[in-house]
Amino acid sequence: LAGQVRQAEAGVVAARVAVSDHVIAAPVGGGIAEKKVDVGEVVSPGQGLFRLVSDDTVHFNALVPEEKVRFVSVGMPVAVNVDALPARAFAGRVLEVLPAADLRSRTFTVKVGIPNPGNQLREGMFARGQIVTQRNRRSLRVPADAVVTREQKSLVVRIEGANTAVPVPVELGSARGGSVEILSGALVAGDRVVTEGATEIEASQPVNIITEEGARHLEMIGRFDPAQPPARLLAEMWVAQGVMVGISLHGPTADWVQIQPLWPLLRQGFVLGDVARARDAAGPDYFHPSGQFALTLPAGWDIAEEMADGALLTEMGHLAQFQITFQEMDHRPTARDLEAAVFGALGDLPEQEGFIELAREEVSAYARLARFESVTAEEGIYRTELQAFANGNHLFSTSFSAPPHFWDTFAPAYELLMASLQLPAPAPPDEATQDADPIAGVMVGPTLFYRARGGSLWVSAPIHNYRTRNLEDLTAAVQLFDAADKLIVAESWRLQQRVLPAGATTYLTMRLTPEDYPLDEASYALVKVVDATDTQQPALAPWGYMGGAAEVNAQGDVAMRLTMRNASNETRNRIYLTALLYDAAGNLSFARAETMNLRRNVGPGERVELEMIIWGPFGGVFGFDAVGEVPQ
């Protein structure tokens, strides 16, 4: 009988295990939005059974225009209004900015997470959101630790007169990077405020705050025991880049036994912050009125002068300064334009006594750099670095100066200024401008050229259609100049593909021979779009690039084998094929395009193997790509 009982108990346990194995638990709390199987249906491992929607947090997909998306970053606050719930606004944050735009609407999708504790928000509701992407650099801001809440009111404790604490009611705005915007209240720029212990300070309480270069001192008088006389304490904190990097505690020797226990309490709350990460999270805090650039101001720096075409920044001690300017050109800035902006800015400095050239670099096909030291009677020895780079048809120039013995001190600020610099992506012109100017919004990218074996000279340049309309019959002028800016080559090029869609890019390629032109004298090339025609023809489905291989042969030629797929619904026998070569930094180093007649008809969805030679000499291939279009 005992054996039968044990056998029955084992059977119960086995049944419970079997039941538990058939229980499917949801990975998150929420509700079932879609049931994909029915009761009694046989399912397979990995098959979806239900689509769940989490109730705690919902996601809102916002569509942001391409000219605005550069100012959006993960973590930014979003105010969301839902049409079905007009009486309430919801607070969310940016979770992700998708990297690719919708070519038809020219918008980017931004995913926003919204807490939904009351389960008021449901899947499919229509919503609108506002993302605060910038603030006025002249708006009043205080450290977040300076704001206290009493009786449901926001206060900032201001230090007045003989170091007396005065709580001031304020209305708060945006919070970013450890500071809070003050929208209204009796605070003005330059007011001293309490950031440590503000919650414990009462009105009219005396406070002694002393500031010194690079340090903050807090002096206190108090008792450790009611029976003892008052004791004087001094906490000293060193601050760099807005982050506390050192701390010490001082007091009378006779009272050290009572003072010493404070030391571990102070160190317990001491955290060395990551300045770079905090800056990246905060984003730029200065936006030029032109909209041509934005950047982050390093701690202790401010705008000294704001010009229509740039800005001058200085640090508080006026030892270092940074200037950025821009100018619009009628073409993409060439190598000669970049060199003139950098080396031409030197003027007659190289002839003056005490001038030392430290560096002269071709940073890339798109940028130039010069670094030097010079001596003036007024300022002594200064080191300066000049840079010039292109963004669309705008040429940007920057200048950073500091005494050589302080260069390393200010180098992090310079790195922050350059790393945080944001330049806008070109935006489509308005409809009236497109009506009046057939090439408005058509921009030429960097013009590249090299001399191949046999003396031929190859020129290439990307041409971007930023218009909202498709184009045909596009014509560009290709010009070569010698070192004295004398024109030695003038040729024209016509669009080789049937239609250049709105938002798309085509690649100009041209081969020039020494029999026709004095190519040995060529110093730089210039490509300008001179004409184009809007067309109602629809954009044709391009060829899909499926993969390939590239190798450099003994002569330095790049031999490419490319697999292309007919992505249209038609049979095709011709292709306008462009092979793109990239350097080690990921920049386009050359584009070679050619119209090819295929050996057979290629049906919809079928693939074809193609070969292309880019004549050298090339030292190597760091990266490559291919684009296939429908030719004329």
Confidence of residue 573 (pLDDT cuts 50, 70, 90): very high
What separation, in Å, do the N-terminal and C-terminal C-alpha atoms of the chain show?
94
> Which residue from 243, 58, 111, 93 is spatially nearest to 175, judged by alpha carbons?
93
Q: Is 146 left (phi over 0), alpha (psi -120 to 50) or beta?
A: alpha
Strand pairing partners for 144? none
Cβ 501 vs Cβ 470: under 8 Å: yes
Q: Are strands 50-54 and 457-465 parallel, antiparallel or unpaired?
A: unpaired
Q: Which DSSP string corresponds to 24-57?
A: ---SSSEEEEEE-S-TT----TT---EEEEESSE
What's the pLDDT at 216?
52
CB 139 within 8 A of CB 132: no
Q: What is the mean pLDDT of the chain?
A: 78
Mean pLDDT of 133-161: 73
Higher pLDDT, 85 or 208: 85
pLDDT in tens, 29-42: 566 666 777 776 77
User: Is the model's pLDDT at 227 over the cut of 90?
Assistant: no
pLDDT given for residue 82 in this prediction: 79
Counted residue by residue, the chain has a size of 632
Please give the single-letter amino acid code of residue 70.
R
For residue 619, what pLDDT is reported?
A: 72
Percent of the chain with pLDDT over 90: 17
Beta bridge partners of 389: 367, 396
The full set of domains in the chain, from first to last, is 2-52 (no CATH), 55-131 (2.40.30.170), 284-420 (3.40.1000.10), 431-535 (2.60.40.1620), 543-629 (2.60.40.3230)
Residue 582 dihedral angles phi and psi, to the nearest 5°: -125, 150
Sequence-ordered list of residues with C-beta below 8 angstroms from that of 609, at least 6 positions apart, any chain: 561, 562, 563
**Whether residue 271 has pLDDT greater than 60:** no
Query: Rounded to whole angstroms, how far apart are CA atoms 217 and 402?
Result: 29
Spatial strand order in the sheet of 572-582: 588-602, 572-582, 623-629, 543-552, 558-566, 607-614
pLDDT above 60 for 234: no
